Amino acid sequence: MKKILNAPERALDEALRGLVAAHPDIVAAGESGRFIVRKQPKASGKVALISGGGAGHEPLHAGFVGVGMLDAACPGEVFTSPTPDQMFAAAAAVDRGAGVLFIVKNYAGDVMNFEMAADMAGGDTATVITDDDVALLDSPVAAGQGSRGVAGTVVVEKIVGAAAERGAGLAECAALANEINAATGSMAVALSSCTVPAAGKPTFALGDDEMELGVGIHGEAGRERVKVQSADQLAEVFLASILRKIDTTANTDGPLLLFCNGLGGTPLMELYILYNSAAQLLKRHGYTIARSLVGNYCTSLEMAGASLTVTRLNEDHLQLWDDPVNTAALRWGC
């Protein structure tokens, strides 16, 4: 294993220390546990948003803490759920009297621990589970565990973060989060595995001519292992599954947000090529792309690969997407 670090067991804490040191105007370390809070607390009487999950998906979630997005993020060790006490402490730290919304990717450990945190915190919380991965929608895996929460979580956090900043109440924020999640589909491809620092060796193996279609962000098996596909072919497979979800679950005449996300080890040039393939295909089929995002936002350490996420938006969503945001990883209007 070759990585830039000092010791695997100190990697997460050192990365968090680096994040806070690099963006002292945006984030701060939680005083009572391992979590990151925004530097300037939200105004009193507004709903607080908290997310979290295993590290290794950076900038998700700590990179999205700041004005217009999350109030706190609770990172666990790499690919490991944070603990309920982290979430409870974070909720206590950022609750501004209007309740706390937990945004949780659909993984058993995360869901269970956030549930316990909600119990500990008492009544004034709501929880939304994101499950935007469409790769396994027809498989027994999804039938048992539901779909996985992946890059679409970023879209939920941005849009609901803006609504909370505007003063939307807890029930309204939760409903909006569920609405965006339902209007969002994602699918990924891996060209390589990643290596969890504490494990020291790759999570899985892929042949030199193979791709894993529908891979999960922890390296979970996808839908199919295939020979190398072109960007056009990947876009076609991904969009077919994504559109099958969002064309049935959401308002079907709104424009789209098209988000091409890198898994960590893929150059930006390839992300723009995949974005281009997807955008051209969508336009050929009569869809309108109103907003775009291209970059590494929900990663799997150094995994080579990428995902496409599409969200169906309405006019309100567009405005919330455009609202100012000031986080380490997403910033505009501030």
Footprint on this chain of its own copies (rule: CB under 8 A): 2-7, 11-12, 14-19, 21-23, 55-56, 58-59, 63, 78, 189, 191-192, 208-209, 211, 228, 230-232, 234, 258, 260, 264-277, 279, 289, 292-294, 296, 299, 301-302, 304-306, 326, 328, 331-334
Q: Which of 23, 57, 61, 317 is catalytic?
A: 57
Contact (Cβ atoms closer than 8 angstroms) between residue 315 and residue 293: no
Q: Which of 23, 61, 218, 317 is catalytic?
A: 218
* Shortest Å, Cβ 228 to its own copies: 6
Handedness of CA 331, 168, 247, 147 (dihedral sign): positive
For residue 253, the Cα-to-chain-centroid distance in whole angstroms is 25
Any catalytic annotation for residue 317? no
Report d(CA 222, CA 260) in Å as an integer. 18
334 SS3 class: coil
| 208 or 248: CB nearest its own copies | 208
* Shortest Å, Cβ 114 to its own copies: 22
Per-residue tokens: 259: 């988000």
User: What is the distance in angstroms between the CA of the first residue and the CA of the last residue of the chain?
Assistant: 40
**Residues ≥6 apart with Cβ < 8 Å to 8:** 197, 198, 200
Q: Residue 293: how many CB atoms within 10 A of its CB?
A: 19
Q: Residue 22: how many CB atoms within 10 A of its CB?
A: 10
Per-residue tokens: 31: 């005083």
Beta bridge partners of residue 289, listed in sequence order: 256
Any catalytic annotation for residue 218? yes
- The residue type at 149: G
Only one residue has tokens 């990663």, namely 299
Catalytic amino acids?
57, 218
